[in-house]
Amino acid sequence: MFTPDLISNMKRAARIVVLTGAGVSAESGVPTFRGEDGLWKKFRPEELASFDAFISNPRLVWEWYSYRRRLISEVKPNPGHYALARMEDVVENFCLVTQNVDGLHRSAGSRRILELHGNIMRNRCMECGRKDESADLDVGDRLPRCRCGGLMRPDVVWFGEMLPQEILNSAFREAEEAEVFLSIGTSAVVQPAASLPLVAKRNGAYVVEINMESTPITSQVDETILGKSGEILPRLVGEVWGIEI
């Protein structure tokens, strides 16, 4: 199912960069954003995932994040996550850039991860910026407060907000230096993440997309493999490096 070009490029690459999106976690049971059952089909992002929404109704926004935290706490990584973690073991320079906030890559064993959109399990103080990794799953009746008294918010990037600058810079640097770049399970419509595969391509990387359907970048990448990442990635690491998931 894989082309000889893909296999040989992956085998000889010393630098592989992977960009993942919600599709990678779909087989674990985490809803995507834009698919038929996607979250943004049922909810309006500007009412739940924006700074203005939080300021005008922090309780509603916290309820939405508590709901998603509970959901994520009950799911496990799938074979796609595990295949990417094993890929990191065998590639000299490997970097995983993710738009996902669910932490499943880390649970699967990935180590070098750039979380572009933050992490849903972490809180951040709106006053002093302190981050709290041990945040409660369910905030309950009382809005969480920092020890400085400031209101805590989920440490995720909301609509209209900037991405964490250092992480974003690192992601672009990685994309520029990649020899092989995989764009997996992302609709490739949300910027700036969506431009990473194109930056990699412009800088000479062999760019491969894995998705259930074509996306706006399909015509610009070297190959698109249509299918589920949880099925394709284990087969790919099997063929390239003989790894069994």
* Cβ proximity to ligand OAD, 93 vs 224, nearer residue: 224
| Span from 26-34, 52-60, 83-91, 136-144 in contact with ligand OAD (CB under 6 A) | 26-34
* Cβ proximity to ligand OAD, 22 vs 95, nearer residue: 22
Cβ-Cβ contacts under 8 Å for 231 (sequence gap 6 or more): 79, 80
| Span from 7-15, 23-31, 67-75, 146-154 in contact with ligand OAD (CB under 6 A) | 23-31
Q: Determine which residue in the list 211, 217, 234, 237 makes contact with ligand OAD, applying CB under 6 A.
A: 211
> Cα–Cα distance between 199 and 160 in angstroms, integer?
23
Amino acid 160 reads G
In the bound complex, what is the minimum distance in angstroms from residue 79's beta carbon to ligand OAD?
Answer: 11
Q: Determine which residue in the list 38, 58, 109, 164 makes contact with ligand OAD, applying CB under 6 A.
A: 38
Contact flag: residue 167 with ligand OAD (CB under 6 A)? no
Q: Determine which residue in the list 6, 22, 97, 221 makes contact with ligand OAD, applying CB under 6 A.
A: 22
CB burial of residue 149 (10 Å; 0-12, 13-18, 19+): exposed
Residues 121-135 as b/e (b if ≥16 CB within 10 A, e otherwise) read bbbbbbeeeeebeeb
Active site residue 105: no
Contact flag: residue 33 with ligand OAD (CB under 6 A)? yes
Active-site residue identified among 69, 86, 117, 201: 117
Nearest residue relative to ligand OAD (C-beta): 23
Q: Which phi-psi region, left, alpha or beta, contains residue 96 (left: φ > 0; alpha: ψ -120 to 50)? A: beta
Cβ-Cβ contacts under 8 Å for 71 (sequence gap 6 or more): 29, 30, 31
User: At 82, is the secondary structure helix, strand, or coil?
Assistant: helix
Contact flag: residue 215 with ligand OAD (CB under 6 A)? yes
Residue 108 CA neighbour count, 13 Å, CB half = 28
Contact flag: residue 213 with ligand OAD (CB under 6 A)? yes
Which amino acids are annotated catalytic? 117
